[in-house]
Amino acid sequence: MSTTPSRGMWSSRAGFILAAAGSAVGLGNIWGFPTQVGQGGGAAFVVVYLACILLICAPIMAGEIALGRRTRLSPVGSFAALAPGTRWWLAGGLGVLAGVGILSFYSVIAGWAVAYVWFTATGAVTGSPEDIGRFFAEFTGNGVLSAGLALFVIVTTAAVLLGGVRAGIERVTKALMPLLVLLMIGLAVRAVTLPGAGAGLAYYLSPDLTRLADITVFTSALGQAFFSLSLGMGCILTYGSYFPRQDGIASSALWIVALDTSIALLAGFIIFPVGFSIAGFDPTTSGPGLIFTVLPRLFAELPGGQLFGGGFFLLLSVAALTSTISLLEVPVSHCVDALRWSRTKAVCAVAALIFVLSIPSALGNGAVALFTAVPGFGIGFLDLMVNAWNEFALPIGGCLTAIFIGRIWGVGGALDELRAEGAWFPAPALWTFLIRWICPAAIALILLVTLASML
Ligand code: TRP
């Protein structure tokens, strides 16, 4: 298979792991995961989430990398190359759309994180939990400000992408991710020793199994698992297309899954103990503001809190940036590969489109709930976007990817790629069973029951 001339290559397997982990680790772990745990009822959600990661997402992760490396193409091209003359390229097309859609709301939240670097470092957001909550409501109530911050995130992302694959992405990730993990460990240690933290830990760690009767726990855990691992839209596939042939896929995939999941779990060990140390805290009602209203409370209590707070939101912003880079990369490389656009033209056009689409999310949070007249839609536009892309588009994309790998490309071809050059690949029979049966069936079942429950 020929390689597109503009395609770079990771310098090493470690380079790929860092870049893919940079894609995976982001707002999904630190903002999304605690928010979803809060809405999904605590530890029961965590159990379902971990099951989705192990049984559904990890096998698909290996499959996506293999698909990208086999074809050395972006999603639409990959599906088309292995199933010529069919409509399978549409599965890649869904991924391109999802990249644009997710980035349209992701850039808004990332913009908030950037603003909170300033707010926490200057001590603008401190005081009682009520003050901090009011501050967040007023800040996000200003939709024009949120849109401006989203624009800043999108322009920064576009600028990094124009710097090229390796130089742009690898360097940033390598330097700062370990620092984020260290800071989070320190914050978690402080959080679990706060008075009242025990209630938070109980909420987070001891599952109320009656929650498992609620299908929305499964839908949101599945969507969150795909979102956090950057799966189901050809993002990891695209990164896999730059992966050297002589390196092992399975071990890389497992590293990324382990790292991403550990960081999400760590975020929970900060948010819930701090949250429950605040009188009257209710994790179910906090929504997208959860981390922005809980964390400043921790920083307000901590000696040197302005420094730690500013540092935390700065590292979170960088983690978000390595994720937005990977999200923008999918539609951009599609335009380069399929439409033969120059990289510069593709980056500018796609970034402009995403900014326009981000405006409703920037305006539609907090005060402005759109479609309030339609039953079930009395939520912010932002929540609507999160639900539509994470809980439907990504699992559908993942389901199609699993069917494609298991039955169209075929497990034989996929296993050849996964075990190329004698690479370590554990339990091929188990992987085959998961990718052919469990992944498609479990995703389809969860989506169908969800749809049925909405009628
Ligand atoms: N995984 C990232 C996060 O957790 C977000 C992200 C980056 C993503 N690329 C993606 C989500 C591709 C879905 C698909 O913040």
Ligand 1: does its nearest atom lie under 6 Å from the Cβ of 293? no
pLDDT value of residue 377: 44
What pLDDT band is residue 455 in, cutting at 50, 70 and 90? confident
Residue 288, domain extent: 5-454
Task: Report pLDDT digits (tens) over 21-39.
Answer: 999 999 999 999 999 999 9
pTM of the model: 0.94
- Count structural domains, the chain: 1
Whose CA is closest to atom 8 on ligand 1? 230
pLDDT at 168: 56
Residue 23 in tokens: 């894609």
- Tell me what the mean pLDDT of segment 181-210 comes to: 96
pLDDT at 84 over 50: yes
Atom of ligand 1 nearest to the CA of 31: 15
pLDDT one-digit tens code per residue, 402-422: 999 999 999 999 999 999 999
- Return the ligand 1 atom nearest residue 231 CA: 14
- Which tens digit of pLDDT belongs to each residue from 253-300? 999 999 999 999 999 999 999 999 998 899 987 788 999 999 999 999
Asked if the model's pLDDT at residue 370 lies above 50, the reply is: no
| pLDDT band for position 147 (cuts 50, 70, 90) | very high
What end-to-end distance do the CA atoms of the chain give, in Å?
46
228 Cβ below 6 A of ligand 1:
yes
Q: Is the CB of 235 under 6 A from ligand 1?
A: yes
The answer to whether residue 5 scores a pLDDT higher than 90 is no
Distance 211 CA to ligand 1 centre (A): 27
230 CB under 6 A from ligand 1? yes
pLDDT, residue 256, reads 96
Is pLDDT at 231 greater than 60 in this prediction? yes
102 CB near ligand 1 (under 6 Å): yes
Q: Return the higher-pLDDT residue of 161 and 252.
A: 252
HSE-CB for 308 with a 13 A CA cutoff: 19
Return the CATH number at 59.
1.20.1740
> From the CB of 20, is ligand 1 less than 6 Å away?
no
Is any ligand 1 atom within 6 A of the Cβ of residue 101? no
pLDDT at position 379 = 57
Q: What is the pLDDT of residue 61?
A: 98
Cα 137 from Cα 142, distance rounded (Å): 9
- From residue 156, give the alpha-carbon distance in Å to each of 110, 144, 161, 168: 11, 18, 9, 11
CA of 126 to the centre of ligand 1 (A): 30
CA of 323 to the centre of ligand 1 (A): 6
Please, what is the average pLDDT of the chain? 91
Contacts of 69 (CB under 8 A, 6+ apart): 240, 241, 243, 245, 249, 417
Report whether pLDDT(376) > 70: no
